[in-house]
Amino acid sequence: MKQFIILLFAFLLATAGITAQQRYNPSEENLNNREAFQDMKFGVFIHWGIYSMMADGEWIMNNKNIDHREYATLADGFYPSRFNAATWVSHVKASGAKYICITTRHHDGFSMFGTKQSPYNIVDATPFRRDVIGELADECRRQGIRLHFYYSLLDWARADYYPIGRTGKGVGRTEQGDWESYHRFMLNQLTELLTNYGEVGAIWFDGKWDQPDHFDWRLREIYDHIHRIQPGCLIINNHHIAPLEGEDGQTFEKDLPGQNQSGYSGTATIGQLPLETCETMNRSWGYNITDKNYKSEKELIHYLVKAAGNNANLLMNVGPRPDGTFPDIAVQRYNAMGEWLKTYGETVYGTRGGDIGPRDWGVTTRKGNRLFVHILNLKDDALYLPIEAKQVKAVHFFAGRKPVKITRAADGIVLQLERIPDETDCVVEVEMR
């Protein structure tokens, strides 16, 4: 019996040891960054690579089964003569976005930064020879924009990305490879990204879904490696599933949290971490010369507001042209969002999802004791709110802060708007006591 108790005790100690080792304890800096991340609410996603030259999105190598050796010769012709980091960051500032997430290496395997881990990068393999990530990092610091790095876990060009996953089967890769070498390569590149470009707001992973669910990516080693170098750096992984231990945020691809219109978010239960939703402005991530399906200004503003009402950030994409400029329509749309935010930013930045969850008519956001009711689509001149607050006061956020008449109703109040709202977003500020 005594022996059994000792054994049991030893077993309990051992299992406790394992869980303590596996549990990730974010640093205080990291926790602060999570709050700051949520406060920013709006970021610009940038998909740019040598694929941009073919002007048909970032998946062209896979979609057209281009041999990776032939694809690599594109690098010799990559010379974005009009690239100017200051212009990019100015566009971002004008949009009202507070951060940028840029592709440092996409699935095609080409590194857009000066890496020592492979010559297949913008500095060593193109006539341009400039580290655009470094130039962007400097400019972001200058203009007060946070910088996040997109980093693909999957690689269509490297032999050591093996076993080959569900995609890139027709690009002429080898039949064998050494995963240990690929894992090392990723860790070394991440070391470079986290030591050569100053403070990195987040590493944003993509491509986990390329391998079967049971595949061991050794993500925890990668995550711990990142947090050892920059404990404050947020780790976000676009794996379309619930957050994993060691991550600091959760992103949703082309869906608001909890939705699954994209078809990718089916298993993505909402966790406790800061949320983000990423979306394309037209229908492509990488530059697509014929894709003119741009969302309207109103749709974009509605998406931003709905993200905020869902307690999430919006990461809105642009695919710069091969010459290094943003497409004109993208610039125009970003400017329109920025103009709107000049007036309404207070109801978005620094807020969290409001007391009333998303509805057909719109969403609510909250800051302190102020509840912002964003009426996006209402067919009536009055709006019922199930608010418990005993004493509330309401005003139109804009339009001279005109008071909004309130009548009582069962378990809530009714805002008497006196007309059917027709603005992009009719914001009523409710002071809760």
Binding positions for ligand H79, rule: CB under 6 A: 58-59, 166-167, 206, 209, 238, 253, 264, 278, 285
CB of 296 to ligand H79, least distance (A): 22
Closer to ligand H79 by CB, 213 or 328: give it: 213
Contact 351, 363 (CB under 8 A): no
In angstroms, give the least distance from the CB of 209 to ligand H79: 4
Q: Pick the closer one to ligand H79 by CB: 254 or 333.
A: 254
Quote the least distance from Cβ 139 to ligand H79, whole Å.
23
Residue 135 CB contacts under 8 Å (≥ 6 apart), including other chains: 85
Distance CA 146, CA 304 (A): 18
At 373, is the secondary structure helix, strand, or coil? strand
180 sits in which H/E element:
helix 179-195
Residue 46 phi, psi dihedral angles, 5° rounding: -125, 120
The smaller minimum CB distance to ligand H79, of residues 117 and 167, is found at 167
d(CA 225, CA 235): 11
**236 to each of 147, 190, 251, 284, how far by Cα in Å?**
13, 14, 7, 21
Q: DSSP for 292-357?
A: --PPPHHHHHHHHHHHHHTTEEEEEEE---TTS---HHHHHHHHHHHHHHHHHGGGTTT-EE-SSP
Residue nearer to ligand H79 on the CB measure, 46 or 378: 46
Q: At closest approach, how far in Å is the CB of 189 from ligand H79?
A: 17
Min dist CB 47 to ligand H79, Å, is: 6
Side-chain half-sphere CA neighbours of 41 within 13 A: 28
Complex with ligand H79: residue 278 or 427, whichever CB lies closer: 278
CB of 206 to ligand H79, least distance (A): 5
Nearer to ligand H79, 60 or 378 (CB): 60
> Under the phi-then-psi rule, with left for phi > 0, alpha for psi from -120 to 50, and beta for the rest, what region is 25?
beta
CB of 167 to ligand H79, least distance (A): 5
**Closer CB to ligand H79, 219 or 394, in the complex:** 219
Considering the complex, what minimum distance in angstroms separates the CB of residue 357 from ligand H79? Answer: 26
Question: Token pair 């078809």 is at which residue?
Answer: 263
Residue 57 sits at the vertex; the CA angle it makes with 135 and 61, to the nearest 5 degrees, is 100
Q: Return the number of the residue (128 or 264) whose C-beta is nearest ligand H79.
A: 264
| Tokens, residue 225 | 């490696």
The distance of closest approach from Cβ of residue 173 to ligand H79 in the complex, given in angstroms and rounded to an integer, is 16
Residue 338 tokens read as 């920025």
Return the number of the residue (207 or 358) whose C-beta is nearest ligand H79: 207
Indicate the residue among 253 and 276 with the shorter CB distance to ligand H79. Answer: 253
The least distance separating ligand H79 from the CB of residue 83, rounded to whole angstroms, comes to 20
Residue of 262, 45, 298 lying closest to 252 (CA atoms)? 262
**CB 161 within 8 Å of CB 193:** no
